[in-house]
Amino acid sequence: MKIGADNKKQVIWMSALLAIAIPFALYSFKDMLWGGGSTAVTTSAGHDAGAQKPGSAAISIDSDPRLRLDILDASRKIKYEPGRNIFEMQAAQIEPPIANVRQQTANVHYGPDLPPPPPPPPPIPLKFYGFASKPGETKKIFLQQQNGEHMFVATQGEVIDRRYKVIQIQANAVVMEDMLTNSRQPLPLTPR
């Protein structure tokens, strides 16, 4: 019998698939072929069922269909307590705390740490003394440095001391802007 070029490819594929399928089939049916049933039953915690505390029920992970007399004996040892409904699941009673909980949790910080707020801008070191206006002219204001060294006369929109700009002139205050910090502050009218 002669194998052609097309048949050689099919034979190679078939042998590769058989090489994969045979170990898989042996692994799947190993319990039926060699009778390797597990006799040790463990609980959900992974401990031996015989080493449990009396009164605690075991949960079998193994699918062993045999009757487990040790689990039946453990369930018979649990005593019924009056006032307890055996058909409802109840949580264990929690004792009240001895210390005041509110005082302990008052200093607890929840959430991410936030950066501190930025400091407020420094106050503008000028005093507003008054204004003058003539018909047909723009309103002029009188400002003085707080240390009393310099006196300024300005109109709306002018820059004073190369840092402070007059934004708005009102009857009893002037709104100034610190051009370095871009913060606006009102300067109230101060009597002399």
SS3 state at 59: coil
Rounded average pLDDT over 113-131:
87
Q: Which residues, in sequence order, are CB contacts of 52 under 8 Å at separation 6+?
A: 43, 58, 74
79 pLDDT above the threshold of 70: yes
DSSP per position, 167-180:
EEE-SSEEEEEETT
SS3 percent helix, strand, coil of the chain, rounded to 5, is 25, 20, 55
Q: What is the pLDDT of residues 164-189, one digit of tens each?
A: 999 999 888 999 999 998 899 999 98
> Which sequence spans correspond to the domains of the chain?
1-35, 38-81, 126-188
The burial of 164, by beta-carbon neighbours within 10 Å (0-12 exposed, 13-18 middle, 19 or more buried), is given as buried
Strand order in the sheet with 164-169: 159-160, 164-169, 173-178, 183-188
**Is 61 or 57 the better-scoring residue by pLDDT?**
61
pTM for the predicted model, two decimal places: 0.40
Q: What is the pLDDT of residues 9-39, one digit of tens each?
A: 888 999 999 999 999 888 888 877 776 555 4
* Rounded Cα–Cα distance for residues 79 and 43 (Å): 22
SS3 state at 144: strand
